[in-house]
A and B are shown apart, each in its own frame.
Chain A
Amino acid sequence: DAGVIQSPRHEVTEMGQEVTLRCKPISGHNSLFWYRQTMMRGLELLIYFNNNVPIDDSGMPEDRFSAKMPNASFSTLKIQPSEPRDSAVYFCASSFSGGTSYEQYFGPGTRLTVT
């Protein structure tokens, strides 16, 4: 398996622009997580989906952030409009949620810079 795939790996954009981050989870996994990592705040959970349904979006900073999972093999995280304080590394992770399994597998991340 190729693991969790994220694109783009790097994104540089100007303040006010729309940014879309993409994620393909591991085939067969039914949970998908979006995280943001910064030096100041560490790794923060933004939202997670189970069977394509958003379960907890309490970590989404504000209305400028939105996430979708139209099917089991694809998810997007959108920021509109972007601001410099959104600069961070955004990770997508997937897992098979069933029984006592709690193992997450992370993608390589998207480094976002908003100028």
Chain B
Amino acid sequence: TQLLEQSPQFLSIQEGENLTVYCNSSSVFSSLQWYRQEPGEGPVLLVTVVTGGEVKKLKRLTFQFGDARKDSSLHITAAQPGDTGLYLCAGVVGARTYKYIFGTGTRLKVLA
């Protein structure tokens, strides 16, 4: 069974602080995605990374895919209360499958 472990599980920080969330696995993924989920809603896609070593930026969010395509990180600069939510990584295994394995999740709370 492929597993995606995220760390930390919970994170409570003050507005303006920086943070990094990690997503690790022993499996190689064709691509990896990050989602944010707010209470009572479904996950919303933030980014997809495909190439090992790839870095993508979305405003204050920076996403990196590991060189071996087994891990990824999400870095948030100057966190804001609107960043509060559950962050999920999801990996696609294989080239001709669309089976997504979701990570264990990181619950982030940004205090004003």
Residues in A lying within 8 Å of B, measured CB to CB: 4, 31, 33, 35, 42-45, 48, 50, 55-56, 91, 93, 95, 97, 100, 102-109
B98 touches A102 (CB 8 A): yes
Residues of B contacting A100 in the complex (Cβ-Cβ under 8 angstroms)? 31, 50
Chain B residues near A48: list those with CB within 8 A.
98-99
B55 to chain A, nearest CB (A): 18
Say which one of B15-23, B40-48, B62-70, B74-82 lies at the interface with A: B40-48
Q: Is the CB of B88 within 8 A of A103?
A: no
Knowing A31-B98, A42-B104, A45-B100, the reply to whether A102 touches B43 (Cβ < 8 A) is no
Distance from A32 Cβ to chain B, minimum over Cβ atoms (Å):
10
Assembly CA distance A29 to B92 (angstroms): 18
Interface residues of B (CB under 8 A from A): 30-31, 33, 40-45, 48, 50, 88, 90, 92, 97-105
Q: Which residues of A contact B103 (CB under 8 A)?
A: 42
Q: How far is the CA of A31 from the CA of B99 in the complex (A)?
A: 10
Decide if A45 touches B98 in the complex (CB within 8 Å). Answer: no
B33, B88, B101: the one contacting A45 at CB < 8 Å is B101
In the complex the two chains form, is B100's CB within 8 Å of A109's CB? no
From residue A66, how far is it (CB to closest CB) to chain B in Å?
A: 19
Which residue of the partner chain A has the closest CB to B98? Answer: A97
A103 to B43, CA, bound (A): 12
User: A110 → chain B, closest Cβ, in Å?
Assistant: 10
Contacts A/B (CB < 8 Å), 13 sampled? A43-B102, A44-B102, A48-B98, A56-B97, A93-B42, A95-B98, A97-B98, A102-B30, A102-B31, A104-B33, A104-B45, A104-B100, A109-B41
